[in-house]
Amino acid sequence: MAEPTTAAAAAATATTTAGIAVVGAMAGVHPDLIIAGLVGGIAAILSMEAMPIKQRISSVVVAIMVSGLLGPLIVHAAPRAFPDLLRGVDLGILRHAVGFVLGALAYRVLLPALMKRAQREIEGGDPR
């Protein structure tokens, strides 16, 4: 039997992500990108050390938002950027893969990199 804290954390995460999925779909974000980002976010949580429930929920929320918002841009630009590599690739499969990867990398890689970049820009440092 699962511990009460684990069950409560799972219920809170599921409720929050379901709400975000509904709001995202109403806002016009592709539902398949929302689900792929959710799965990527959950995969990222499972590969990390234990963390508090608020951090788990925020991790999944960031994963869903990043994959839902950036996914369409990347899927649209990728075939033009890599025409030989992606020739004949189904865009549906590409969209799922991009959503999953963005969701998995959002909280631990993309968000910290964005924050470092913003900090350098604010301080007037090297733009690289």
Domain range annotation of the chain: 4-123
* pLDDT, greater one: 76 or 125: 76
- Provide Rg for the chain, Cα atoms: 16
Checking if the pLDDT of 60 tops 90, the result is no
How far, in Å, CA of 91 to CA of 75, rounded?
7
How far, in Å, CA of 53 to CA of 108, rounded?
16
pTM here is 0.73
Checking if the pLDDT of 3 tops 60, the result is no
Checking if the pLDDT of 18 tops 90, the result is no
Checking if the pLDDT of 29 tops 70, the result is yes
- pLDDT of the residue at 1: 47
Q: What is the tens place of the pLDDT at every residue in 33-45?
A: 888 888 898 888 8
SS3 87: coil
Q: How far apart are the first and last CA of the chain?
A: 50
Short-list 66, 72, 69, 70, CA closest to 94: 72
3-class secondary structure for 94-122? HHHHHHHHHHHHHHHHHHHHHHHHHHHHH
